[in-house]
Structure 1
Amino acid sequence: MSSSSSSEYSQSCRLEGEPLSSRQRSEDGDGVWPEHFVESVAIRLANEAAKLDGKLASAQALTNLFQVCSTWRRASQSELLWQTLSHDIWFVDALRRPTWEEEYSYWHRTAVNFRTGNSKHREINIHDSPENNRLACRRLTVSDHYLASGYVDGSVRLFELPSSRHIATFHPDLNRAHLGLFSRSISGLFLEASTLVFASQAGDIEVASTDEDVDDRGISRLARVGNLVEDGVLVDFTGKGSYWVGLFSGVPDRSFRVWSFNEDEVALLFVGGNLMNPNAVIGWRMLTDFPSVVGRVRVVEDRSYQDGVVAVVGCSSSFIQTAEVSGEGMTLEEHSLGGMVAVGSVDLCEGNLMVVESMTGLAKVHQLRTMEEVCRFSTGGAVHGGSIAGGLNWGYVVVCRGNRIKVWDVRTGINSDRL
């Protein structure tokens, strides 16, 4: 939002009949402009600026607003104001910095760095021995404090951030009988609070603690025993909060599984969906051939969903299905991808869906509710072997091809190198 539009908005919000000059001279906080009213104006102005010109425009709009007078500047010291803005603009609910104003500034600076391509990195040796250098990494997940990587042999490694210190390695139970060379291969993992959850293609789901104070750190617990015959192959796995979601291939009309996890109890909430029916044979081959991308599943984080509703999105080589699971049942919608594609990466954030085709390198961003295309762009063509990884955050698409990472604006599809 421009400076002139911010000024027009401020003038439209003043009390009827009160000249702007008199409000600017009101330096004593005489009650004409109470603090909570100024905070409300600031919140509305910041949100409107974000909708019109992107999240970064909110800061400039707020700066213009706080320059009106000293009474209005005092509103900028309100922690409640910055807490609300952090929630509305950056979707941040947990305070990780000393104050909410610093929290908002941190995410604003991060967004600026994405736009300008300003970054620094540190290499992490994800293999703990020379023999493991041949292991293929199947999944990565990251939180504010940890990074976890899952491998084709079923092992999972946990690292502390930002020190890159290796904390623990979780190994599969070699005594358990499995079907196929790659049945132990990690099909999904995620970090939630002080817990690491990971699953294998055989359907086993394990839980481990990342808390430094616990005695059993480095030891995982089997929370669910997989059943390949009844369920098929677990091709992807993720979770959010107390909900776990798995995408299976191999058994007709049983693509999705949704579980709830509470106090060490795992309850199955939903089984169904025909998303993976065309890929049943390919799913079974994943147990003996080197695992490939057959499908992906993600938990929707759209805040418009009510509590108690688990919304998930699954993507195969030809279709996208969205499922909403609640105590009243399940609703399922299906969308075509417009032909067979080789899905390399799928991700969700703030109501946007990203799909990257590994064979062509074409990336598309859709508005999830309507499947309307937001933008599309080329990530640079096909990659040998279809090796391409991508992720989506609140404003940018991040794609890794080989040893290079590039960033695109999620609204326009413009590469950060050209911004």
Structure 2
Amino acid sequence: MTTSPASSAPVAAVDTDEAIARDVAAIGRISAVPSLLKVICQHTGMGFAAVARVTDGTWTACAVEDNIQFGLKPGGQLEVRTTLCSESRAARQPVVIDKASTDPVYFDHHTPRLYNIESYISVPIIHTNGDYFGNLCAIDPRPAQVSEPRVVAMFTAFADLIARQLETEDRQERTETALQSAQATAELREQFIAVLGHDLRNPLSSVGAAAELLLRRQAEPDLVKLGTRLKASTRRMSALIDDVLDFARVRLGSGMGLEIREAASLASGLKDVIDEVRVAHPALDIRDEISISGTVRCDPGRIQQVLSNLLGNAVAHGSPNQPIVVRAEVRNGQLELSVANGGEPIPPGDITRIFQPYWRPENSKPGGGLGLGLYICAEIVAAHGGTLEVTSCAEDGTCFVAKLPVA
């Protein structure tokens, strides 16, 4: 578990209070981390898992899943020399122990005896430029089969995903700090997001595979529930990657790619999107009025993407106590797709900016996305030769309406 300051250029790790607090906060902003730690504990049977920042001088917990009352919380520290993470950092290799009391290497090591642990695994979190951030680790006072290749592979995939997510935040922070004009900011963003989307695909597929494995454990409802949650997180992350790649293609001149064809099951495809959101948000009242028959000439995948983004916006900003209503119909050669929700209206000053890339209202919750969803919707609708409009008031709520020629 190591630390490198928030930067994607090689720099020496620093242990100022500011640097430590910044790295703890950066891990806290990665919404998937709590789910990953729960998966680790459930999958290995170990009681404590953590993401830790490690340097030559400090060991700091950034995120914790503690089912054995080990006592550490985010921001808590251990003397680095008493941990095995310092050895993992020095070797830049995982340290894995199934049963410390009989392990030929660690049976008399001070760390297992000091912390009363038998099983232990620690995998380095290393940035692509070689900077060492820290470790993804787990411990338990009981033995566990953590040396199995599938367990080590899971830890490695999760550690890689965390490193990539940290780099994403680092790049964005550095970009926004360094650039003096909106044009310069846009240019740098467009250069890194195309690479970012591809870089995240492999670790994300590993997380998805782990979720699928948990979903097969039908005899263990808690694991299935965790797998369902993790699967939903991977779908959301995949959608974010799709958005940034679409944004890059549009801004770099390739345009919004469409595959126009005669779609015979558009209604079914739209219902699939709605059902996915219902499963992810079972407490919400999501209603649909889909009236589409026959074939529709459009790019059905892109229309599903529009609906998914509009529904995501309604879930994020609408009132949880009022229904979300999806309507879709074809009349006079035109597809009309709308998503309406209750709640606080969009301020008039924001209406004119709502389809701009990277724009989010000031009251947006942390972790609510990149601010690309509505921009991508508008680009897809425009590529079909259609329009996307929004109305919002306290009496009638907020309604987005897309109208696309499909004849």
User: TM-score, length-normalised on structure 2?
Assistant: 0.28
Higher strand share: 1
User: TM-score, length-normalised on structure 1?
Assistant: 0.28
The one of the two structures with greater contact order (alpha-carbon pairs below 8 A, sep at least 6) is: 2
Higher helix share: 2
